[in-house]
Structures are given as structure tokens and as C-alpha cells.
Amino acid sequence: MNDPLYLFGLVPADTAIVPAGVGVDGTHPLERLELGDLTAIVSTIPRQEFVGPEAEERLRDLAWVGPRALRHQAVIRDLMDQGPVVPVRFATLFSDAENLRARITRHQAALSAFLERTRDQAEWSVKALHDRKSDLARITERTLAERATELTALAPGRRYFEEQKLRKAVESGLSTTLAEACRWLYERLSETATEACKVRLQAKEQSGLALDMAANWAFLIARSAPDAFKQTVDALSGPGNPGGLQLQMSGPWPPYSFSPRLDES
């Protein structure tokens, strides 16, 4: 059985984009596979690395996945620097060129429209961050202090019950405030973007950030307008929004969050 093809991304066939270097295995070279109006950037991958029970175990090993995922991203960034690209998710494999051709043909219209829509555009990430533990402690302390006279007059058991109710109310109120602030921010930031979408939240253990993530967004921004977008982000960060959320911006990235899914029928 032949080794599968590993797909990195798709580019317009009429561009002179030249993939450089090797694939995620560090051995097989990158190649162009012409598919009519589109060109797939692929490499052969040893079957045993990504297919079978042992491969499934490796794909759960961050030490193994990490350098290969970084190589995957580096290839797509290089393609993006040369022109428009449809970035494909890590570890997207096809049994052979004909299988790949059939899948691309099925999504031809959506892929071509995407390349045209994202020409001269890049994705920028914006995360809304806060210290939930610190915020809860601060608001709870203030709330209990405001009700101190009333609480002190209660019997110990009743006082404990009322304090717990107040703590729960503070937590619920904070969640509502943050949700409203996130909606407000998303609307303001979307006004300066070509497109916008919400991205899955990550816990601090996943994100590596010191603060909690209240929202995670992706914005499609014209390559000529990142400075204007950054100014908007800076102006809305912290005291610039109702929840006092800190905004963290990063990019430019290939437009992963807006790319058509090839695994959809």
C-alpha cells in the first residue's frame, strides 16, 4: 500500500507560489499537485507515522506532535507570504492523488471563492482576558462590606446562609457583565474587519496565559489596515470597555478560522 499524501494547503493554480523545504516528517520534499484552477501543496508521508493504532497514540503525544505541527504552520506561513492560500488543518491525509482530486473537486466553488475573498487579507486573533479569581474576590469583598451592618445583625447560621447567597450572586453578576462586555467588544471590533468569527475558548493550561480567557475571536483584516485595527484594539482594551477586559492581539496568521472544511460533504 502506497504512502499517503499530506495536504498543507491550496493556492490558485495561476500563481507562481513555490513550496520550499520538506514536509512534517523532515524528509519528503514539498510538491505542487495541479488540480485544475487550484494547486495543492503536498508531501508524501510515511504511512506508519499517521495511520494505525500506534499513530493514534503518537498523535496524543505533545512531544511528538509539537515539532510537526510547527513545521505544518511554517509551511503555510511561507505560502501565505507568497500569495493567497487555503490553510488546511494539521494531519490532513489522502490515500492518493485521485482521492485528493475528488475531494477538492467537490469543494471547488467554495475553495475558489474563499481564495478570492481572502486575497490581500490576513487573520488576526484577539483574546479578551481577565483575572477571574481576583475579580471575584474584589467584588465579593466590596459587596460584603456594603452589607456588613445588615449581616452582623443576623444569627450566625442565617448570616452564613446570606453570605453564600451573596457570593453566588456576585459570581452570576460577574458572568453577566463579562458576557455583555464581550458582545459589545465583538460588535465594535467587527466594524473594522472584513469578517469575524468566535473561536473556542482555552483554559490557562492550554493557552499558556496568566489570565483567564473570557472570549477568543478571529478577524479577517486587509493587509493594508493592521495598524488601524491595532489602534482600535488598544483603544478598547481595559478601561475602554464595560468589563475592563484586557485585549491581546496577535497575527498576522493564515486565515485558518475562515477556511472551508474539506471533511464536510
The pLDDT value recorded for residue 162 is 83
The pLDDT value recorded for residue 264 is 60
- Residue 66: CB atoms within 10 A of its CB come to 10
Euclidean distance between CA atoms 143 and 170, whole angstroms? 8
Label each residue of the chain as H, E or C: CCCCEEEEEEEECCCCCCCCCECCCCCCECEEEEECCEEEEEEECCHHHHCCHHHHHHCCCHHHHHHHHHHHHHHHHHHHHHCCCEECCCCCEECCHHHHHHHHHHCHHHHHHHHHHCCCEEEEEEEEEECHHHHHHHHHHHHHHHCHHHHHCCCHHHHHHHHHHHHHHHHHHHHHHHHHHHHHHHHHHHCCCCEEEECCCCCHHHHCCCCEEEEEEEEEEECCCHHHHHHHHHHHCHHHCCCCCEEEEEEEECCHHHCCCCCCC
The pLDDT value recorded for residue 21 is 87
Q: In the block, which residue shows the cell 453564600?
A: 164
At 100, list the grid cell. 485528493
| Nearby residues of 137 by Cβ (< 8 Å), 6 or more positions away | none
Phi and psi torsions of 161, nearest 5°: -60, -45
Amino acid letter, 87 = P
Q: How far is CA 91 from CA 129, 136, 162, in A?
A: 30, 41, 53
pTM of the model: 0.84
Euclidean distance between CA atoms 149 and 152, whole angstroms? 5
Q: In the block, which residue shows the cell 493504532?
A: 53
Instruction: State the burial class of residue 201 (Cβ atoms within 10 Å of its Cβ: 0-12, 13-18, 19+).
Output: middle
Asked whether the bond before 67 is cis by omega within 30 degrees of 0, the reply is no
The pLDDT value recorded for residue 101 is 92
Phi and psi torsions of 4, nearest 5°: -75, 170
Residue ranges of domains in the chain: 5-119, 122-257
At 197, list the grid cell. 468569527
Mean pLDDT, consecutive 10-residue stretches, the chain (265 aa), reads: 88 83 90 91 87 78 88 92 91 91 91 91 96 90 85 83 87 92 97 94 84 96 93 96 94 93 70
Q: In the block, which residue shows the cell 465579593?
A: 140
The pLDDT value recorded for residue 1 is 62
